[in-house]
Structure 1
Amino acid sequence: MKLHCLIMAAAMVLPAGLALADGDPVAGAKVFKQCAACHTATEAKNKVGPTLMGIIGRPVASVADYKYSPAMTTFGQGKVWSEEELAAYLPKPKDLVPGTKMAFAGLKKPDDIANVIAYLKNPAAGGN
């Protein structure tokens, strides 16, 4: 029974991981325009939010010259922004990190999330 549950869980997670790998950075650049008022992905420059340049593989709440909320700092302890972590965060940031100062409600479409992640992995591929 445990093996059956493990196989079912893996079957449900695997397609989500494949979807992330298949994101379109050009489409992601268009979706990222919703984020651009507060973030940049092509410069090591903070705006209202921290730079997202190089976010994939970066420890959470680690941009040295950005003041994170206590909620994000606590959430980030020992975590790294992976594709999977971003995929969990982007649909409803305030649900994953209650108390975050990020006001954005989230991305609702799984394709938009996969595309933004593909763009964040390689902003140059987004055509910027």
Structure 2
Amino acid sequence: MDDRFNTIAGWVLFAGIIALGSSIVASELFHPEKPEKGGYPIAGVEEEGGGGAAAEQPIEFYLAKADPAKGQQIFNKCAACHNADKGGANQLGPNLWGVLGEPIGQGKGFAFSPALSSKGGNWDWDNLSQWLSSPKAFAPGTKMTFAGLSNPEDRASVMAFLNSHSDAPKPLPAAPAQAAAKPAEDAKAAEGNAAAPAAPAPEAKKPAA
């Protein structure tokens, strides 16, 4: 009985030694590398403090330097649904001659969707910019299928083009004071740095007599 117990105990001890030895060898051969940062990455989320896109300025900032010729090129893509000719016929969308300043979703003999005809207000610079940015966000339920222009410079150029197609074009708004003042502040700071006197050179030591 004692011999049998000793035999079993010996095999158990031997198996334990083999397992321990295998673990040591494996740890020497394979070194798990720890990630530089803990956690799991989430797609589409920027790291805290990371640089993002510059904040969009008010549309007046872009209108101050809008290019009607560029706006016409962009508007040509809409020619299947709209025209901006004086006396032009409605197409899939309304004629856009003189649209700046007109009531939103009214007149011109066009069947506007209730989402737009009930919007209220006029097509001023801000409303038209929001509409061109995302028609569905501006008037949920609109029949307009156009996805929108996300680039504010493109919107400003299209608006400048549409404004020029009118019996009484509106004056383009001035750039916001804060945006216009920044270059002047930078220039003033640069001028101040240039005018600052240079630090005097250290006085040379006199040779010993």
TM-score band w.r.t. shorter chain: 0.7 to 0.9
Counterpart residue type for residue 96 of structure 1: F
- Does 2:122 align with 1:80? yes
Aligned: 1:21 with 2:64: yes
What is the aligned partner in structure 1 of residue 132 from structure 2? 90
Displacement of 1:13 after TM fit? 8.7
TM-score by length of 2: 0.49
Identity %: 39
Q: Who is 1:4 aligned against?
A: none
Residue 39 of structure 1 contacts residue 49 of structure 1 at CA under 8 Å; is this kept in 2? yes
Counterpart of 2:109 in structure 1 is: 65
Q: Which protein has greater RCO, CA pairs closer than 8 Å, 6+ apart?
A: 1
Give the aligned partner of residue 53 of structure 1.
Answer: 97
* Cα distance in 2, alignment partners of residues 41 and 15 from structure 1: 25
Gaps of 5+ in 1: 1-11
Q: CA deviation at 1:83?
A: 1.3
Report the number of matched residues. Answer: 111
Specify the structure having the higher radius of gyration (Cα).
Answer: 2
Partner of 1:41: 84
- Counterparts of 2:118 and 2:58, CA distance in 1: 30
In the TM superposition, residue 71 of structure 1 has moved relative to its aligned partner by 0.7
| 1:74-99: CA deviation from partner (whole Å, max 9, x where unpaired) | 11x2x100111111111110011001
Runs of 4+ in 1 over 3 A off after TM superposition: 12-15
Indicate conservation of the 8 Å contact 1:50/1:63, yes or no. Answer: no
User: Hey, what's the Cα distance between the residues in 2 that align with 1:60 and 1:13?
Assistant: 25
Q: Which amino acid aligns with 1:69?
A: S
Residue in 2 that maps onto 1:7: none
Write the deviation string for residues 23-68 of structure 1: whole angstroms up to 9, x where unpaired.
Answer: 1110000000122111111233211001111000111112231001
**What TM-score comes out, normalization by structure 1 length?**
0.79
Note closer, same or farther for the CA distance 1:26–1:123 as it changes in structure 2 (3 Å cut).
farther
Unaligned runs of 5+ in 2: 1-54, 167-209
